[in-house]
Amino acid sequence: MTSADDFAVRIESLSRAFRGTQALIDVSLQIPRGSVFGLVGLNGAGKTTLIQHVIGSLKALHGSVNVLGQDPTVHPEKLLARIGYMTEEDSLPKWMRISDLTSFCRTVYPTWSDSYARELCDMFGLSTTAKLKSLSKGGRARVALLAAIAHRPELLILDEPSSGLDPIARADILEAIIRTVADEGRTVLFSSHLLEEIDRVCDHIALIHDGVLLESIPAATLPERYTECFYRTETPSSRPPEIPGSFGGTGDASEWSVLMDSENEASASTTTSIESHGSRWELVRQEPATVHRWFAGRVRRPSAAAASTQAEGIQHV
């Protein structure tokens, strides 16, 4: 049985509009403690707005947000001491030396660890006497990461942290840090455009699109639940075959693929041969959906043809 304490973050029916733009629409989301939770979505999907509610910089006007057992806007200083936060913005004070920044962090975070900070400096190849303005963007991103984790936060929030890092640093450092934090039973909320990063490190993935939470799913179950089915037709087609329960059609001419959801009753069995919009289609192969394919299928806007089948009750997201 689960209890409220099993979740680091609980969001209920959260909506937010900015001057007529609906940034979040009735979002309900639970982040299990100890998980590495990936938040994915296109530009403008609402990821940062959601995260700003979690760190308490935006107050929930419609719905509620609970983080580590408290409303993040009530006594925010107590909560922020338990959270590590890193954003894509390069907002560190550039006149400081790394040692100035760590001294400042020590006063803010009761659990700050000088030895862990030194360890991270060594790992990242940083000198504590270096001025932030002398570092590259990637160097400053490493310092921001250090400042976010050296107090060993209960909840680490990384909002598009990779934008300042080169590919090697992205691959090695992020994975090492996220795994370390999660292995200690801490929780990571990780927002990224980079699906391969999400796929490598997250054990839970939530997809937000146009302010709506489309899906929140344990990463391990995704390839079991979604199958990509490839169909071929003799007559070249400008659209995928219309198969009940399928969505996210992609391809061209004589070969198209669609996604099938094993939990959608309409697509419970795989169609091996079908007559659709005047052509016969044969299933040529099927494979577990990748995170990338699932994401693209979910966020792809339906074509005019798909929209008309959607109106007939066939799901194309």
Ligand X SMILES: Nc1ncnc2c1ncn2[C@@H]1O[C@H](COP(=O)(O)OP(=O)(O)OP(=O)(O)O)[C@@H](O)[C@H]1O
| Chain residues that interact with ligand X, rule: CB under 6 A | 18-19, 21, 23, 41, 43-49
Token pair recorded at residue 171? 């691959």
Please name the residues in contact with 60: beta carbons below 8 A apart, sequence gap of 6 or more. 14, 53, 73
Task: For the beta carbon of residue 55, count every other beta carbon within 10 angstroms.
Answer: 21
CA distance 293 to 2: 32
| Beta carbon of residue 18, minimum distance to ligand X (angstroms, whole number) | 3
Among residues 48 and 315, whose Cβ is nearest to ligand X?
48
Cβ of residue 19: shortest distance to ligand X, in angstroms?
A: 6
CA distance 54 to 122: 31
In a 10 Å sphere around its CB, with 0-12 CB exposed, 13-18 middle and 19+ buried, how is residue 212 labelled?
A: middle
Residue type, 311: A
List the end-to-end C-alpha distance of the chain, in Å, as a whole number. Answer: 33
Q: How far is the CB of 49 from ligand X (least distance, A)?
A: 3
* Shortest reach from residue 277's CB to ligand X, in Å: 35
Give whichever of 54 and 150 is closer to ligand X, judged by the CB atom: 54
Closest approach, Cβ 73 to ligand X, in A, equals: 17
Nearest distance in Å: CB 140, ligand X: 19
Is the Cβ of residue 41 or residue 153 nearer to ligand X in the bound state? 41
Integer-rounded Cα Rg, in Å, for the chain is 23
Question: How far apart are CB 127 and ligand X at their closest, in Å?
Answer: 32
Diameter over CA atoms, the chain: 71
Does the CA dihedral 284-290-291-296 come out positive or negative?
negative
Q: Which two tokens stand for residue 19?
A: 């001057």
Tokens 């990224």 belong to residue: 192
Residue with smaller CB distance to ligand X, 46 or 240: 46
Whole-number Cα distances in Å, 307 to 35, 117, 210, 294, 312: 37, 54, 18, 19, 9
Q: Which is nearer to ligand X, 9 or 229 (CB)?
A: 9
State the amino acid at position 197 in one-letter form.
E
CB closer to ligand X, 27 vs 143: 27
Q: Which is nearer to ligand X, 19 or 167 (CB)?
A: 19
